[in-house]
A and B are shown apart, each in its own frame.
Chain A
Amino acid sequence: GNSVTQMEGPVTLSEEAFLTINCTYTATGYPSLFWYVQYPGEGLQLLLKATKADDKGSNKGFEATYRKETTSFHLEKGSVQVSDSAVYFCASGGGGGATNKLIFGTGTLLAVQP
């Protein structure tokens, strides 16, 4: 079945450092791909998405490119801030028929230190 694998955390960075969180997927067909962010004590919020190969999703300085050849959707940000500290989830959708179900990775905790 479909699955999503993302790098384990926690990831600890200093402010203004470069961020990469790796995410790979397995799927039949070509799923839509998402990054969600969960700030402490809150629900998940959609951060960015890409719906087809070579699409780049971007939001709030974060970017991720849908790479079909490597089945990857790595999250990047050039200069992280303390306010980016959160748990980041990679997810894929499209392999579950007409249920609209998403498959989530296990989440990566990012801690940014001043």
Chain B
Amino acid sequence: NAGVTQTPKFRILKIGQSMTLQCTQDMNHNYMYWYRQDPGMGLKLIYYSVGAGITDKGEVPNGYNVSRSTTEDFPLRLELAAPSQTSVYFCASAHRVGAYEQYFGPGTRLTVT
């Protein structure tokens, strides 16, 4: 049982480049989330999805886009990378309304220079 997987683990981007962070879960969870964690800080919600085809903005959506074409996958797209997007990105999933515990992937460490 793999749980939540994320790729890549590490990435260095130049300013203005684009990339997609992949997230897949094999638990048939409806809810999925993207967070960023800056050094010494807590988690900030970027985007979330309550099911395939449905996404919505979190606290810090600017500079990011998401899609949810299947239950399993929830990729995060960075367009025109900026140094302010240097962070560790975590994907998480949750089963259903009322079961609030979220299951996290191992994270992607992104550096934009």
Binding site for B on A (CB under 8 A): 32, 34, 36, 42-46, 49, 89, 93-94, 98-102, 104-107
Contact = CB atoms under 8 A, between A and B. Distances in A.
B97 interface: yes
A89 B42 contact: yes
A32 B100 contact: yes
A102 B43 CA distance: 10
19 contacts: A36-B104, A42-B106, A43-B104, A43-B105, A43-B106, A44-B102, A46-B101, A93-B100, A93-B101, A98-B50, A99-B31, A99-B50, A100-B97, A101-B45, A101-B48, A101-B58, A104-B43, A106-B42, A107-B41
Contact of B104 (A32, A45, A93, A99): A45
Interface of B: 4, 31, 33, 41-43, 45, 48, 50, 56, 58, 90, 92, 94, 96-107
Nearest to A51: B100
A44 B48 CA distance: 17
Contacts of A100: 31, 50, 94, 96-100, 102
Given A101-B45, A106-B42, A49 B101 contact: yes
Contact of A44 (B94, B97, B99, B104): B104
Most interface-central of A45, A94, A99 (chain B CB within 10 A): A99
Most interface-central of B42, B48, B58, B96 (chain A CB within 10 A): B42
Nearest to B103: A46
Most interface-central of B4, B45, B92, B101 (chain A CB within 10 A): B101
